[in-house]
Amino acid sequence: MRNTRVQALVEMALSVALAAILNFLALRLPINLAGGSVSLCMLPIAVLALRRGVWAGAGAGAIFGLLDLLMEPYILFPAQVILDYPLPYLLLGAGVGLFAGLYNAKPAEAAQASATHPSHPNHPRTARSAAIIAVALLAGGTLRYASHVLSGVLFFSEYAGGENVWAYSLVYNISYLGPSLAVSLLCALVVMPILDRAVPVD
């Protein structure tokens, strides 16, 4: 039990560090607003959450959000800081982590197939896992998106330029979160099977 807890803490630390590094490599969008970049920073948090569950994912997400605030602060109001930094990544980790039990469970037929053809593209475990990864990241990414949209409506309405502020916030935030989530999902589909074989969850 102690070794499992230590391993989980180590994975949390590595996930936060890797998310911070990937955030530095973000592709900035040519939009005259604070923030708005296509990044893989969600990937380490999502991978951790799928492996270790809600609390690990939410904790690592919140810590990374605070680090993001320190690295690239854009502060208008305390509530805006919460909605744009720790909360969206906490929600991302929690949302993805809700699927950890389902992801880590091995149905009987998938467990039997794993013993014979673990890398076969159509083997039950592989297909089932890919579906769970996709749904989990979509759920977590949607929760993060909701937090940023609410921040945009409450604190960045002047950028709407007369447009409906909800529509503007929805479109602006999906313009960078959509590609970020899509790329993170593709990478997760590649990374998770490799990581599961190399460092299985106890």
Read off the pLDDT of residues 122-136 as tens digits, 9 standing for 90 and up: 444 688 999 999 999
DSSP state at residue 34:
S
Residue 174 to residue 131: CA distance in whole angstroms: 22
φ and ψ of 28, to 5 deg: -75, 140
- Asked whether 57 and 45 are in contact (CB, 8 A), the reply is yes
Q: Which range, 28-37, 40-49, 121-130, has the best average confidence (pLDDT)? A: 40-49
Determine contact, residues 136/192, Cβ cutoff 8 Å: no
Where do the structural domains in the chain lie, given as residue ranges?
A: 2-198
Residues sharing a CB contact under 8 Å with residue 66, sequence separation 6 or more, in sequence order: 85, 86
Query: pTM score, two decimals?
Result: 0.88
Q: Any idea what the Cα angle at residue 140 is, between residues 65 and 29, rounded to 5°?
A: 60
Average model confidence (pLDDT) for the chain? 88
Q: What pLDDT was estimated at residue 90?
A: 98
Query: Are the CB atoms for 142 and 135 separated by under 8 Å?
Result: no
d(CA 142, CA 49): 15
Identify the pLDDT of residue 107: 62
**pLDDT category of residue 77 using cuts at 50, 70 and 90:** very high
User: Confidence band (pLDDT; 50, 70, 90) for 159?
Assistant: confident
* Alpha carbon distances (Å) from 116 to 24, 77, 84, 89, 110: 41, 56, 46, 38, 10
Question: Which CATH number applies to 2-198: 3.30.420.10, 1.10.10.10, 3.40.50.1000, 1.10.1760.20?
Answer: 1.10.1760.20
Q: Judge whether 180 and 25 are in contact, CB under 8 Å.
A: no
